[in-house]
């Protein structure tokens, strides 16, 4: 199986030994507490699950600035975005041991225990510098920039020990999986070549066929459909609805034992190219050999070019930094001429009228009225689940 990023073995920060975990839990109740924001809590969940291997905790300011600028830490570890705990709290002291509390669960239970190596002030200029590098913009209307700017100006860094996976394990018991669990399941299947498909949206026919194309062209053993389960921007479809629609599609339209439907506990960054590289890092940690990167991967609005998330792997990711490879995909749509879903780049003889193309707004309006999109665009069973959801919004 493909090695994890940065090490020979995966090193999740979740404390798997139950006796040690109970002892840490008891200790944490007596420690000074820091209530995390959702972004820092999501980072803890990802660190706990082994997704951000080989990191041992939150980055300090020097590493964060270096990663933002050059995509590597001061010591040279390749990493595409800073993994940070930035807060507005100022009472934390360097050298202390603290309990990190979960902002997303009632009662704010302890999520992790942290040994604080450093507490550093982050200037407005440094926030702007990191925003520009990570998001390619400092526009406060960009949802990722808006979140990053709102976190605070105090960076708390150091190693952590994770005690639970926040709400993800309880809210999505059939879907949430750690990188450890995904690796184990891939091994159980005996898969060697595995393609990952990232999604924060339901999957329509084009997405379904894209997974099929990647599998066939790469001669892959299986596909990991890996959905984001954390916080999104307003208007995005909730994780439980996406989960139901994706599972229905896989059940009906893929051969048995060729697809794993799973999810991960992270808040969307909308960082376009940099987030695509982060997706590649943690899919390698999951045991995947390939990642599908399509048009405007992890993008939002008009902040990124259609293929920027592909070209970053050729132009900015150092050769050999990742073992995982990219399957670069063009926009996919149903061809009326060929009666199948195709990549648009593969059919230069087609005009716009030769495709079934619907905007997201048009699809939402149709579903909200109980009208199913054309079967060339969306499987009817998937459309039914989405339509039921959209109609609840109007009631």
Convert the pLDDT of each residue in 102-125 to its tens digit: 999 999 999 999 999 999 999 999
Mean pLDDT of 317-342: 93
CA 155 to chain centre: 23
Write the CATH number for 99: 3.10.400.10
> What was the pLDDT predicted at 202?
86
Is there a catalytic annotation at residue 200?
A: yes
CA-angle at 73, arms to 70 and 79, nearest 5°: 70
Q: Closest by alpha carbon to 224, among 237, 215, 234, 233?
A: 215
Give the up-direction half-sphere exposure of residue 40: CA atoms within 13 A in the CB hemisphere.
29
Q: 174-178, 235-239, 304-308: which has the minimum mean pLDDT?
A: 235-239
**Same domain flag for 143 and 262:** no
The structure tokens listed for 21 are: 């975990």
Q: In the chain, how many domains are there?
A: 2
pLDDT at 346 over 60: yes
Higher pLDDT, 393 or 192: 192
**Is the pTM for the entire model greater than 0.85?**
yes
**Same domain flag for 246 and 366:** yes
Lookup result for tokens 């808040």: 267
* Bridge partners (DSSP) listed for residue 225: 197, 261
**Same domain flag for 188 and 324:** yes
Give the up-direction half-sphere exposure of residue 160: CA atoms within 13 A in the CB hemisphere.
36
Lookup result for tokens 């920027």: 308
Q: Closest by alpha carbon to 80, among 9, 133, 2?
A: 133
Q: Parallel, antiparallel, or unpaired: how do β-strands 110-115 and 259-264 relate? A: unpaired
Write the CATH number for 245: 3.40.50.620
pLDDT at 90 over 90: no
Q: Is residue 2 part of a domain?
A: no
Cα–Cα distance measured from residue 116 to residue 87, given in angstroms and rounded to the nearest whole number: 13
> What was the pLDDT predicted at 56?
98
For the chain, give the percent of residues with pLDDT over 90.
Answer: 83
**What letter would DSSP give residue 317?**
S
pLDDT at 233 over 80: no
**Same domain flag for 160 and 259:** no
pLDDT at 381 over 60: yes
> What was the pLDDT predicted at 50?
98
Angle between helices 143-150 and 124-135 (to 10 degrees): 150
CA-angle at 177, arms to 176 and 179, nearest 5°: 145
Q: Closest by alpha carbon to 49, among 180, 187, 168?
A: 180
**C-alpha gyration radius of the chain:** 21
Q: Is residue 9 part of a domain?
A: no
Q: Is 212 helix (H, G, I), strand (E, B) or coil?
A: helix
Show which of 149, 169, 189 is a domain's final residue: 169
The one catalytic residue in 200, 212, 247, 364 is 200
Helix, strand and coil percent figures for the chain, each rounded to 5: 35, 20, 45
**Same domain flag for 223 and 357:** yes
**Same domain flag for 367 and 301:** yes
DSSP string, 54-83: T--EE--HHHHHHHHHHSB-TT--B-SS--
Q: Is residue 41 part of a domain?
A: yes
The one catalytic residue in 11, 21, 149, 201 is 201
Q: Closest by alpha carbon to 264, among 86, 81, 103, 42?
A: 42
Is there a catalytic annotation at residue 212?
A: no
- CB-CB neighbours of 85 under 10 Å: 28
Q: Is residue 22 part of a domain?
A: yes
Mean pLDDT of 248-277: 95
**Same domain flag for 317 and 267:** yes
**What letter would DSSP give residue 161?**
E
Contact predicate 250/225, CB 8 Å: yes
Mean pLDDT of 25-31: 98
pLDDT confidence bin for 330, thresholds 50/70/90: confident
Across the chain, mean pLDDT equals 94
Q: Is residue 8 part of a domain?
A: no
**Same domain flag for 329 and 313:** yes
> What was the pLDDT predicted at 158?
98
**Same domain flag for 158 and 191:** no
> What was the pLDDT predicted at 363?
81
Mean pLDDT of 318-338: 93
Show which of 137, 169, 201 is a domain's final residue: 169
> What was the pLDDT predicted at 395?
55
**Same domain flag for 112 and 186:** no
**Same domain flag for 137 and 251:** no
Mean pLDDT of 311-319: 96
Length of the chain: 395
> What was the pLDDT predicted at 160?
98
Higher pLDDT, 331 or 317: 317
For the chain, give the percent of residues with pLDDT over 70.
Answer: 99
Mean pLDDT of 343-358: 90
Buried (b) or exposed (e) across 271-294, using 16+ Cβ within 10 A?
A: bbbbbbbbbbbbbbbbbbbbbbbb
Q: Is residue 272 part of a domain?
A: yes
* Range of the structural domain that residue 314 is part of: 176-393
Show which of 120, 137, 169 is a domain's final residue: 169
pLDDT at 394 over 70: no
Q: Is residue 315 part of a domain?
A: yes
**Same domain flag for 81 and 48:** yes
Q: Is residue 7 part of a domain?
A: no
> What was the pLDDT predicted at 290?
98
């Amino acid at each position: 199986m493909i090695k994890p990023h940065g090490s020979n073995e995966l090193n999740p920060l979740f404390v798997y030994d139950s006796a040690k975990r109970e002892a840490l839990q008891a200790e944490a109740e007596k420690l000074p507490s820091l209530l995390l924001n959702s972004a820092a809590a999501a980072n803890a969940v990802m660190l706990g699950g082994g997704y951000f291997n080989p990191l041992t905790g939150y980055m300090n300011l020097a590493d964060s600035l270096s990663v933002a600028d050059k995509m590597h830490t001061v010591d040279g570890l390749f990493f595409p975005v800073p993994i940070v705990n930035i807060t507005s709290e100022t009472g934390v002291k360097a050298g202390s041991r603290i309990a990190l509390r979960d902002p997303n669960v009632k009662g704010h239970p302890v999520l992790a225990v942290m040994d604080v190596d450093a507490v550093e002030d982050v200037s407005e200029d440094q926030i702007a510098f990191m925003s520009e590098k990570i998001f390619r913009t400092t526009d406060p209307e960009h949802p990722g920039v808006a979140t990053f700017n709102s976190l605070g100006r105090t960076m708390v860094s150091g190693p952590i020990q994770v005690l639970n996976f926040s709400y993800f394990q309880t809210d999505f018991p059939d879907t949430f999986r750690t990188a450890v669990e995904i690796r184990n399941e891939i091994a159980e299947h005996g898969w060697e070549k595995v393609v990952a498909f990232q999604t924060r949206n339901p999957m329509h026919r084009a997405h379904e066929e894209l997974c099929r194309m990647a599998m066939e062209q790469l001669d892959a053993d299986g596909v990991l459909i890996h959905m984001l389960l954390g916080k999104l921007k307003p208007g995005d479809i909730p994780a439980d609805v996406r989960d139901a629609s994706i599972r229905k599609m896989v059940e009906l339209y893929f051969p048995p034992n060729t697809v794993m439907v799973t999810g991960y506990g992270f808040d969307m960054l909308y960082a376009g190219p940099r987030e695509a590289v982060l997706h590649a890092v943690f899919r390698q940690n999951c045991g995947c050999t390939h990642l599908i990167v399509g048009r405007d991967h992890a993008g939002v609005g008009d902040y990124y070019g259609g293929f920027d998330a592909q070209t970053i792997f050729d132009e900015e990711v150092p050769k050999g930094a990742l073992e995982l490879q990219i399957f670069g995909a063009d926009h996919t749509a149903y061809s009326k001429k060929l009666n199948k879903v195709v990549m648009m780049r593969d059919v230069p003889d087609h005009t716009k009228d030769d495709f079934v193309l619907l905007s997201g707004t048009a699809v939402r309006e149709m579903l909200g009225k109980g009208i199913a999109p054309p079967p060339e665009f969306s499987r009817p069973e998937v459309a039914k689940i989405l339509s039921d959801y959209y109609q609840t919004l109007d009631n």
